[in-house]
Amino acid sequence: MDRIGFIGMGNMGYAMLKGALKYFDKMNLVFSDANEQRVRQVYEETGVRFMDSNAACANDAKYLVLAVKPQFYPAVLKNIVNIVTQEHVVISIAPGITIEKLQQTLGYDRRIVRAMPNTPALIGKGMTGVSYDPSLFSEEEQEMIRTIFTSFGQMQVVPEGLMSAVACASGSSPAYVYMFIEALADGVVKCGMPREQAYQFVARAVAGSAEMVLESGLHPGKLKDMVCSPAGTTIEAVEALEQWGFRNALMKATDACFDKCEKLK
Ligand SMILES: NC(=O)C1=CN([C@@H]2O[C@H](COP(=O)(O)OP(=O)(O)OC[C@H]3O[C@@H](n4cnc5c(N)ncnc54)[C@H](OP(=O)(O)O)[C@@H]3O)[C@@H](O)[C@H]2O)C=CC1
Ligand SMILES: O=C(O)[C@@H]1CCC=N1
């Protein structure tokens, strides 16, 4: 089997590696990372081989996942530009950085897949948007790309023009969902519930509500209406949320996230 290499073993690289370990023998995986302590830690935990340079990692793998922050891309691309060939499948998970921009450095005949995963990948519940030109990849390679991304959750192929929207929808949004959980739990603690118990109740409510959207197929507004009894408790809370700009805050957050993605282009 063609090996999968990961450059960068932080939050996302590690989450993807953990997923890959469920489907591929560890001999078919390899990684490199600038942080020696991190390298040792991941090797001791997983037994996956590491390389002492990004160039060696690229040389050892056909599928090459670039999992470093956008600001480290120039250095990493410099390390691998003379190693990556037309045979490689380069998978980039950074926001903003386009396939074309990567090809400017690596070569216009180099084959790039652009993706935007998210951290729930760590527990196999990731959601990833993936973009690539299918005419450049064999059926077998496309199957491999699907396997890599479904090894840690679900994926959807989207046009590259939607990748910043994917970052807003699922790449960055877990951060604000955690803020929602934390803030709501604070409110519940104020009502007298012990904190750990509050996290359990709130997180289960969030997980259950999300499952309802996915499983029922009902409009989120309809699901909201089903909770709001006439003259009940919920509609009072809904009014307070509207008063304090809850929906608008989320749309403004999305605007900010989108703008930052676009600035990285
Ligand atoms: N975290 C998230 O929720 C998501 C992140 N992404 C994207 O994934 C990419 C990785 O993010 P994330 O995993 O969070 O980042 P991390 O900073 O957690 O991980 C990156 C790892 O790469 C290492 N590194 C830095 N420079 C180099 C280099 N030149 N060569 C090899 N390794 C290097 C870092 O070491 P050190 O710590 O020493 O710098 C670190 O261990 C980013 O582009 C990010 O935007 C995409 C979707 C979601
Ligand atoms: O904050 C970031 O830049 C990355 C991309 C999506 C989630 N985290």
Helix axes 99-106, 73-80, angle to 10 degrees: 40
The pLDDT, as a whole number, for residue 210 is 98
The mean pLDDT of the chain is 97
pLDDT at site 112: 98
**Over 90: is that where the pLDDT of 1 sits?**
no
Q: How many CA atoms does the CB half-sphere of 116 hold within 13 Å?
A: 27
Residue 216 CA to residue 209 CA, distance in Å, equals: 10
Mean pLDDT of 240-255: 98
Binding residue ranges: 7-12, 32, 54, 67-70
Interface confidence (ipTM) of the complex: 0.99
Which residues approach ligand 1 with their CB closer than 6 A?
A: 7-13, 32-35, 38, 54, 67-70, 72, 75-76, 93-95, 116-119, 171
CA–CA dist 99, 217 (Å, integer): 34
Cβ–Cβ under 8 Å, residues 94 and 115: no
pLDDT in tens, 67-117: 999 999 999 999 999 999 999 999 999 999 999 999 999 999 999 999 999
Q: Which domains does the chain have, with CATH numbers?
A: 4-159 (3.40.50.720), 171-263 (1.10.3730.10)
pLDDT exceeds cutoff 90 at 175 = yes
Q: Which residues fall within 8 angstroms of residue 248, CB to CB, at 6 or more apart?
A: none
Q: How far is the CA of 32 from the centre of ligand 1 (A)?
A: 12
User: Ligand 2, residues 170, 172, 265: which to mutate, most atoms within 8 A of Cβ?
Assistant: 172
Give the residue-averaged pLDDT of 250-254.
Answer: 98
**Across the beta sheet with 29-32, what order do the strands follow?**
49-50, 29-32, 4-7, 63-66, 89-92, 111-116, 126-131, 153-157
In this structure, which residue's CA is closest to atom 4 in ligand 2?
172
3-58 pLDDT per residue, tens:
999 999 999 999 999 999 999 999 999 999 999 999 999 999 999 999 999 999 99
pLDDT-derived band of residue 265, with 50, 70 and 90 as boundaries?
confident
What pLDDT is recorded for position 161?
97
- What are the backbone angles phi and psi of residue 155, rounded to the nearest 5°? -135, 155
Can you tell me the distance from the alpha carbon of 64 to that of 89, in angstroms, rounded to the nearest whole number?
Answer: 6
Is 20 within 8 Å of 4 (Cβ atoms)?
A: yes
Strand (E) or helix (H) holding 113: strand 111-116
Residue 124 backbone phi and psi in degrees, to 5: 75, 15
Determine the average pLDDT of the residues in 238-256: 98
Q: What is the pTM of this model?
A: 0.97
